[in-house]
Amino acid sequence: METNKQLFAEPEHLHSVGFSPVRQVMEKMRTLERQGHQVIPFQIGEPDFDTPRCIVEATKQALDAKFTHYAPNRGSVEFRKAIGQLLFQKGLQYDPETEILVTVGGAEAIFDGVFAFLDKGDEVIVPTPSFMNYRNDIAMAGGRFVELPLRAEDSFQINITALKQAITPKTKMLIINNPSNPTGIIFTPDVLKQVAKIAVRYNLIVFSDEIYDEIVYDGTPCVSIATFPGMRERTIVMNGFSKSFAMTGWRVGYLAAPPSVITTMLKVHQYVSTCIPTFIQEGLASSMLSAECQADRRAMVAAFSRKRKLLLEGLSTIPQLRFSVPHGAFYVFVDVSSSGVDGSQFADRLLAERHVAVVPGIGFSPSASRFVRFSFATSEENIREGVERIRRFVGSLAK
């Protein structure tokens, strides 16, 4: 019997899995706060709003009514019906009985979609920069992450020629995030139409992360790729309540796909999490479509729009910073290379010297080393103060 092996050696499928750069910045920020510093939080992808009161009250009532036992693995029928109505408002039609699966947030939904369909060596094309979960989930599943770099000079839209060139006989899936984290860019309907034709031609699964689809600005259309011809049968739509309902801590997400696809993902879901709390499902089912809840959500997006304008106006007065105007989510992806340092140095020094937290772009792609991500999901007071600190910081770099 072998006795010299390391008992808790990290398994091979975790060797290329990294920690979230966002969480790493948060840990540094909290250390500074414990030391008494006031840190401007431009790093977190979380609405700075409370969950709509009607949802909170309905969930309390569900607790009082003793909705504290297991829900079905797929999610309660009532909640799935409410999700079905929400999807219908977006131009998507899915049967709540067989085509919707409730998950523990969007993170589990991504995990389920990747693990349910990837075999070892399968390739997944991901437009980058991208949410870090995609790369790490694909690695854990034994798949191969294939970057499709998006260029700032193209406003981070997908280059169709480059997409075709990235496809090989091993390509199985394409992941798109629309609107995008970290760029805030919305893919145009024309680009999505061309992507859809390629997915049909090459018989690809498309995992469409639409978690920010209701946080859009300037009347910019945000269309689901599942609405294009030939796409419903090959698309997994992911969405949730963290962003547009300000419910990050509640951990509620969902997947929508054809029945057989849902059944396969259910195999992963039932052993990962079983179900989300029953009282949350009951509370949401009875409140999420109410006029009060919808009004609260519209007010939140309107506030984000004002904050976006304020941050963009401030950043545009700092010549060394360049960015594409985001039309969705609550992020600005900023090229800081003209400041004289790369994104990682910029983020580290900005936090240490001026106590402003941003996320280095390299955390979203090795090719994004000259960028940092700003989140404007913070107060207008923080945005004004943060911009002034950044202005002084960038000025100090030029000396």
For β-strands 371-375 and 331-335, DSSP reports them as: antiparallel
Full strand arrangement of the beta sheet holding 359-360: 322-323, 331-335, 371-375, 359-360
Whole-number Å distance between alpha carbons of 371 and 378: 20
Nearest 5 degrees, angle CA 45-CA 14-CA 143?
85
Q: Which pLDDT score is estimated for 3?
A: 61
CB-CB contact of 246 with 304 (8 Å): no
Measure CA of the first residue to CA of the last residue in the chain; give whole Å.
Answer: 64
- Dmax of the chain from CA atoms? 68
Report CA Rg, the chain.
Answer: 21
Residue 108's nearest CA partner among 251, 319, 256 is 251
Q: Do domains 12-50+294-398 and 54-290 have the same CATH topology?
A: no
Identity of the residue numbered 198: I
What pLDDT is recorded for position 2? 59
Residue spans of beta strands (DSSP E) within the chain: 40-41, 100-103, 123-128, 144-149, 171-177, 205-209, 235-240, 253-256, 322-323, 331-335, 356-357, 359-360, 371-375
CA atoms within 13 A on the CB side of 90: 24
Given a cut of 50, the residues of the chain with pLDDT beneath it are none
CA separation for the pair 305, 108 (Å, rounded): 29
Place of tokens 């979960």: 133
Q: What is the pairing mode between strands 40-41 and 100-103?
A: unpaired
Judge whether 72 and 275 are in contact, CB under 8 Å. Answer: yes
| Phi and psi, residue 60, nearest 5° | -60, -45
Return d(Cα 185, Cα 191) in angstroms, integer.
12
Residue pair 96/260 in contact (Cβ under 8 Å)? The answer is no
Secondary structure class of 148 (helix, strand, coil) = strand
Asked whether 218 and 327 are in contact (CB, 8 A), the reply is yes
Q: What is the pLDDT of residue 399?
A: 65
pLDDT at residue 151 in the model: 94
Return all residues near 349 (Cβ < 8 A) that are at least 6 apart: 341, 393
Tokens at residue 330, please?
């609550």
pTM: 0.94
* pLDDT tens profile 82-141: 999 999 999 999 999 999 999 999 999 999 999 999 999 999 999 999 999 999 999 999
What architecture (CATH level 2) is domain 54-290? 3-Layer(aba) Sandwich (3.40)
pLDDT at 29: 77
According to the model, what pLDDT value does residue 203 have? Answer: 98
Please report the pLDDT score of residue 1 as a whole number.
Answer: 52
Domain ranges in the chain are 12-50+294-398, 54-290
Angle between helices 53-64 and 278-287 (to 10 degrees): 130
Note the pLDDT tens digit of each residue in 324-336: 999 999 999 999 9
Kindly list the strands in the beta sheet with 253-256, ordered across the sheet, starting from the edge strand earlier in the chain: 100-103, 253-256, 235-240, 205-209, 171-177, 123-128, 144-149
Looking at residue 52, the DSSP 8-state letter turns out to be P
CATH superfamily of 12-50+294-398: Aspartate Aminotransferase, domain 1 (3.90.1150.10)
